[in-house]
Structure 1
Amino acid sequence: MESFPHETYEGLQHMSESVIVGLCEIVGTSQQVALRRETEDIWEMVRRQVISYDGLIKMISGSHREGFRLNGSDVDFMLWYNNYRVIMDMSQSEYYNTASTTLILSDSSESPPGFTLLQLLTPRINRYVQSACVRMNGRVYISSSIYRQLTCSALIPNSTVHGPCGSGNYGGLEYDTAHCFVCDFWPPSASLWIDRCHSWPDPEVVHDIVRNGCHFVAIGHPLGPNENLEWRISFSRAEYKLVYSMNHSQFLTYGLLKLFLKEVINHQLEETNKLLCSYHMKTTVFWAIQQNTLPHWHPQNLLAGFWVCFKLLLKWVSEGVCPNFFIPQNNLFLTKVYGSAQNRLFLQLHELYKKGLACLLQSSSIRSYIINVLYNPRLSICTDERLMRSEVDYDVELVKATSYIAESSTNSHNKYIHIIEQLVESPLTHYQAVILQRLTAFIFQITAFTLHNICVNKQMYIADKLSCHMLKLAAKFGCVSDMLYIAMYYYKTFRCREALFVIEMTKVKLAQPYLMYYRYVDRERYTEAVGGQSWSTKMRQAVAQDIRLDNTICYISELIPEQQSALQNREYTLDIPVFVMLHFLEFLCHRHIDMTLSQAAVDELQVLVHHDQGMYIYDLSRDISWEILGICQQITGNLQAALYSYQQSLTQHPMNRIQTATQRRIHDMVQSTPHQ
């Protein structure tokens, strides 16, 4: 292996350890990566079980699911209808109830490796599938190109077609959504992959991958005979399970290749910077590990692992062949890396190869970690993860993971309760138990308000006792901001003084200097206050999150128009910054007790909304924050200020999809204002 001038084997080990430290900073420690994977796994488990039989299943895939959180990387979603199944041959139809399941047959007899036609077998179809049906040779097939076009913006409006996906930017987040079909069976064209897995992955991983089948995404082979009809076999689930089975050195090598592609290869020539993608890097790592090119992958030989992968990639570019890991006959370079473009790319990579490992100095992320060792050969490097990351780092990561609550819809709450009962009895990791705890608090809260909304007359007293008990229980094992649900309930049931008492207690807790909210936290004070304590204690004393309202439930009558607007646009929750909700509730309650204090609450809210720089109001929450300020101003009779606030709400990113309500409020206010 080429290396740096005068570099010894021990020196390369030393440099590998330094790069490991850098990659743990950028990519994450093994504990951080485990946290991300485990929390996403349990969310998916919950989503999968709560979805209706004919509902749309959503799975996060790609690098986000694998455990990466690299700056600028997008989030990939795969979506499919739960009551549609692809089968590989007609005999497999016996496993399904065709009265409720729509069956599709995979016919790959005339397609290139890795691609297939999808023949519709049963007539029970939704509007997207119906519109995408094409008749050919007396059979009905689903056209991938039509289906892709129809579903591109089905989840997020104004998405553009990118490969098999709908692509775009949602509040600063780049996303790809692929509407696809699921198959419970492993494709015969990938059967040889099973026999190839002697050394990696382990047999239980192989079994798990095979029994989970595959997906079909809406894109055909550009050189195939039926490009507009064909679908590509997707192994996304298999791929993230393979990445899960890597040791951390292998995972960091994969991360280093992704950085190398982004910061070095794609910065060479404009004409070649789109030829290679992250998927090629992943494929390279998979083959390098399985072929046992490097017998042992550990921190001291990380750079050796990188070099093995780089040489394999160079060989593939030279030959113009990048074999798909599951179906090697499917050449991933076929329509991109060929001809003059292939020659230019090879020359570019070969120049990097001639520099040896010094080519990594061109990586802006890794450069400093290499230079540190080159200039300080005796530099002491600590690769102990316990010293790389503090307790606060993991807590911040966990708060991010718990801030996402699975989308709910009418009649799904009982399902959640049943799922929680089941999961409590199952073996859970520490991180998954935290997610379950957070989900339980959310379900208690929505159940409490649901009870109040449906009960009448004599039932009201019992329901009220139960609702109060559930909300207090949720606050006990929830976070600081969960106390505001109790205040909301008291306001809803005309107990404004009790609500204000809870608000004052919450105010005191939210004013603590060690509070963790979003990514903001005073690390030293947080550690001093709750360091080493249980996660339940940390949540209850030092963590605040946004207030999330289920839009199928009425919490505060003043927000009904906003919830209805969101629901019309298929947004099932309303996210309100905790400090905005605090002042809003304070204003609403004081209106019935002390008008001076009521106005003071509006004034505080106005200062917050007008002047916050992202510390208390996240950019994506500014639509609802301006809206709530406008509601308060309109109630007090300050119509000019209210109009300005509503107009500001309309200019923000439509995260909560409340524009219909905002426009209605403006219209009604203008209509009711006497003209001079």
Structure 2
Amino acid sequence: MDFLSENVYIDAGFQHLCESVFVRLCQIVGTSVQVAIRRETRDIKEMVDRRVADNDDAIDVQSGSRREGFRLEGSDVDYMYWLNNHRVIFDMSQSEYYYTENKTLILSDSSESPPGFTLLELLTPTTYRKVQSACVPMNDRLYISSSLFRQQTQQHHFPGSIGHGPCESGKVGGLEYDLACCFACDFWPLSASSWINRCHSWPDREVVNEIVRNGCHFVPIGHPLGLHEHEEWRISFSLAEHKLVHSMNHCQFLTYGLLKIFLKEVIDKQSEETNKLLCSYHMKTVIFWVIQQNAVPLWCPQNLLAGFWVCFKHLLKWVYEGVCPNFFIPENNLFLSKVHGSAQRKLFLELHGLYEKGLACLLQSASFKYYIIYILYNPRLSINANEDRMISECDHDKELFTEMSCNTSYYPQNLDRCIKYLHTIELMIGEPLTQYQVLTLQRSTATILQSTAFTLHNMYTNTGLNKQMYIADRMSCLMLKLTAKFGLISDMMYIAMFYCKTFRFREALYITEMIKVKLAQSGLMYRKHVDPERYTEAVGGQSWSTKMRQAVAHDIILNNYACYIKELTLEKQFSIQNNWEITCIPLFVLLHFVEFLCYRHNDTTLAQTALEELQVLVHNDQGLYILDVLRDISWEILGICQQMTGNLQAALYSYQQSITQYPLNKIQNATHMRIQDLHIT
């Protein structure tokens, strides 16, 4: 059967509907500007991390749909990480590119594996215990077992996490995550060489060269039908796929988004028997093939649904044939272990039923049903597909500042590392960067200077070397004041913490009062909470730097390798023991905490007032000022303050509440110790 022969009839009414769906997709998926912000801010984060990484570090990158630029409801956050001092090669001649004294080499052996899968032979010794423990002897050689490696590396960071394919999967504050430990390879696999030769029209040669130059990865999952399922590894082209998605035009990207939505809201709702057979990776694969084969002559808003329909027909053909060819290694049939037999026939009939309805099948989508009906009943309605008018200044800024806050956190462990970060950023400033990357780099500089200031000061505390202590103190103050000049309102809290830490309580309180005045402004953007009209009225049309200083605030992230508040030393230590590098504290909780610490030295009445304000906030906030995932540290801080005032029963209650919260900050051990220290029977 040839489902690809039929064309969608295109007329003015169809173009009008396409433009309408384009606008709706921009609302759901994002405009090209929003997508660029998401990608470019993450690009700069990973660029800095890679350049700073030492040979024995682990490299981590975001992968999956969020890295591609999606922020769809229910989308998970995917991360891949690998050991920087381990590399996979495809033949022994490639070993000459490495200094084996500091690199562990692994040989890919795919002679007995299905296409897209391989065995990994350990060639040189490794000092990494988890790799050693995953090794199994086969044919007088030592291979790294994918199943044993998964067991060793999946640490189950948060409650409820499970193994899911090659990943550890779980949920943090309603956001699902997948975390995969893998191995990196600097070479392009021979089995994917045909892909290079196929790239005549898309992607362009520059993208192809960059993809090939960056190699591939190996994730710990074998083929269920392979001879060595528990030992095999799958070749991953995740980073190459990011490049391909980023090289799409916005109409192609929105069509990809429409396919993902259609899968979730229509295909998966057909029956329980078939709702797990297809996944978003199949949607990605189909649009890759459709774009490369020039099956759609013009990708534009007026032709969007035609592009979607061609993709859907390709998918239908694949299900009918039982073959979904991997985009890089077509011999790897992605349907082989799932879409076959009675399930395949059932899925085909369901998809064919949707196909027979034509584009009316989109009416089964909750995201589009009423929108399309409204458009069809109002054919004269004017649709403006101009993206510049789809997003307000406030929404644009909210997107930018939110993505920046997610991609500018760095946690250097010592002063040398701080300096390496600063030097790396200094070199990057002269490179060709987009406006969003420049701003992200500026924000990153503030974050690293804050860590540097406290790390430097902690080095000279209690050394008895007065001159060095004075110099360190002065330099730390200058760095923190500098960050406040081009940072957010909340960056002033670092100055207040520093003054509190160094017993300059009056200066600290002066800063907290300034912060409170700024936070009381009606146009404040706190995380994503903002009144658009008042925000625009307050800072509309001004530079992003001005907006950050005057109207934007976020929660406070503390680097656990530095000491900011000595009263949280216990929490910091246990957090590090639990392999957690940061402590994230709600801004308003920290504000009241610092005020309490300062007032208790000279005004017990005002200290009590600060404590009462903190108590009201922690007890009554409904998510406006305290995110649910930050309630562990919020109750903990309240308990610490209550314990310091001698109210042990109240402190016990707060600590008990802290233990019951989601353990984002990994402080449960510290909380248990504080409860024991109360000596309440």
Which amino acid in 2 is paired with 1:268?
A: Q
In structure 1, the residue matched to 2:561 is 552
Contact residue 44 and residue 437 of structure 2 kept, 8 A = yes
Q: 1:153 aligns with which of 136, 145, 155?
A: 155
In structure 2, give the amino acid aligned to 1:576.
I
Q: 2:119, 2:232 within 8 Å by CA — same for their partners in 1?
A: yes
Secondary structure at the counterpart of residue 212 of structure 2: helix
Stretch moving more, 284-293 or 429-438: 429-438
- Counterpart for residue 505 of structure 1: 514
1:409 is displaced (CA, Å) by 3.8
Aligned mates of 1:334, 1:452 — CA distance in 2: 60
CA contact (8 A) 1:153 1:160 kept: no
In 2, distance between residues paired with 1:147 and 1:46?
28
Residue in 1 aligned with 2:326?
Answer: 324
Q: Which amino acid aligns with 1:471?
A: L
Q: Does residue 517 of structure 2 align to residue 480 of structure 1?
A: no
Give CA deviations for 1:135-187 in whole Å, capped at 9, x if unaligned: 11111111111111222226557631111111111232211111111100000
Once the two structures are superposed, the pairs formed by residues 249-648 of structure 1 within 5 Å of their partners are 249-404=251-406, 405-411=408-414, 412-455=417-460, 456-648=465-657
SS where residue 83 of structure 1 aligns?
strand
- SS at 1:555's partner residue? coil
* 8 Å Cα contact 1:626-1:645 kept in structure 2: yes
Range moving further from structure 2, 116-125 or 90-99: 116-125
How big is the shift at 1:114? 0.7
Match of 1:206 in 2: 208
Q: Does 1:653 align with 2:658?
A: no
Once structures 1 and 2 are overlaid, which stretch shifts more, 8-17 or 446-455? 446-455
Kindly provide the amino acid, as one letter, of the partner of residue 166 in structure 2: P
Q: What CA distance in whole angstroms lies between the structure 2 residues aligned with 1:234 and 1:372?
A: 43
* Aligned equivalent of 1:239: 241
TM-score (norm 2): 0.97
What root-mean-square deviation, in Å, do the aligned CA atoms of Structure 1 and Structure 2 show?
Answer: 1.4
Paired residues of 1:186 and 1:210 also in contact (CA < 8 A):
yes
Contact 1:576 1:625 in 2 (8 A): yes
Provide closer, same or farther for how the CA distance between residues 41 and 530 of structure 1 changes in structure 2, counting only shifts above 3 A: same
What is the DSSP-based 3-state SS (H/G/I as helix, E as strand, rest coil) of the residue aligned with 1:419?
helix
Q: Is the 8 A contact 2:172 2:629 kept in 1?
A: no
**Aligned partner of 1:440: which letter?**
T
Aligned to 1:14: 16
Aligned-pair CA distance for 1:3: 9.7
Kept in 2, the 8 Å contact 1:180–1:215? The answer is yes
The answer to whether the 8 A contact 2:87-2:184 is kept is yes
| Equivalent position SS for 1:113 | coil
Alignment of 1:115-130 (within 5 A): 115-130=117-132
SS for the counterpart of 1:649 is helix
Deviation (angstroms), 1:451: 2.1
Match of 1:44 among 43, 46, 54: 46
Partner residue, 1:668: 677
Structure 1 residue 2, shift from structure 2 partner: 7.7
SS of residue in 1 equivalent to 2:431: coil
User: Gaps spanning 5+ residues in structure 2: where?
Assistant: none
State whether residues 3 and 357 of structure 1, in contact with CA within 8 Å, keep that contact through their aligned partners in structure 2: no
Deviation track 1:506-557 (CA, whole Å, cap 9, x = no partner) reads 1101111111111100110000110111111000000111112111111111
Does the residue aligned with 2:466 lie in a helix, a strand or coil?
coil
Separation in 1, partners of 2:637, 2:522: 26
Q: Distance in 1 between matches of 2:52 and 2:199?
A: 35
User: What secondary structure is seen at the aligned counterpart in 2 of 1:513?
Assistant: coil
Q: Report 1:156-195 matches (<5 A).
A: 159-195=161-197
Amino acid corresponding to residue 413 of structure 2 in structure 1: T
Q: Give the 3-state SS of the residue equivalent to 1:403 in structure 2.
A: helix
Asked if 1:221 is matched to 2:230, the reply is no
Q: In structure 1, what is the Cα distance between the partners aligned to 2:420 and 2:263? A: 44
Structure 1 660/155 Cα, relative in aligned 2: closer, same or farther at 3 Å?
closer
How many Å separate the matches in 1 of 2:98 and 2:157?
A: 28
1:230 to 232, 246, 254: 232
For 2:158 and 2:646, locate their aligned partners in 1 and report how far apart those are by CA, in whole Å: 37
Residue type of the alignment partner of 1:364: A
- How far apart, in 2, do the equivalents of 1:400 and 1:79 lie? 24
**Paired amino acid for 2:512:** I
- Structure 1 range deviating more: 408-417 or 350-359: 408-417
The number of residue pairs the alignment matches comes to 670
Offset from partner CA, 1:50-109 (integer Å, 9 cap, x none): 223111111111111100000011111111100000001000000001011000001111
SS in 2 for 1:69: coil
CA–CA separation in structure 2 for the residues paired with 1:80 and 1:451: 30
Contact kept in structure 2, 1:47 and 1:406, CA below 8 Å = no
| Contact 1:548-1:576 within 8 A present in 2 as well | yes
Unaligned runs of 5+ in 1: none
1:216-266, Cα deviation, whole Å (9 max, x unpaired): 111111111111111111100000100000000000000000010000000
Say which is worse superposed, 32-41 or 554-563, in terms of deviation: 554-563
SS in 2 for 1:237: helix
* Amino acid corresponding to residue 557 of structure 2 in structure 1: R
Opposite residue 571 of structure 2, the aligned amino acid is E
Aligned partners of 1:468, 1:149: CA distance in 2, in Å?
46
Distance 1:406 1:102 in 2: 30
The farther-off stretch of 420-429 and 534-543 is 420-429
CA contact (8 A) 2:59 2:83 kept: yes
Structure-1 separation of matches of 2:79 and 2:536: 36
Q: Contact 1:80–1:180 (CA<8 Å) still a contact in 2? A: yes
The question of whether the paired residues in 1 share the 8 Å contact of 2:410 and 2:448 is answered with no
Q: Sequence identity, in percent?
A: 68
Counterpart contact for 1:407–1:573, Cα < 8 Å: no
Distance change (3 Å), C-alpha of 1:8 and 1:88: closer
The answer to whether the 8 Å contact 1:2/1:356 transfers is: no
- Structure 1 pair 108/163, CA: closer, same or farther in 2 (3 Å)? same
- For residue 458 of structure 1, give the secondary structure of its aligned residue in structure 2: helix
* 3-state SS of 2:320 partner: helix
Query: Where do 1:24-43 residues align within 5 Å?
Result: 24-43=26-45
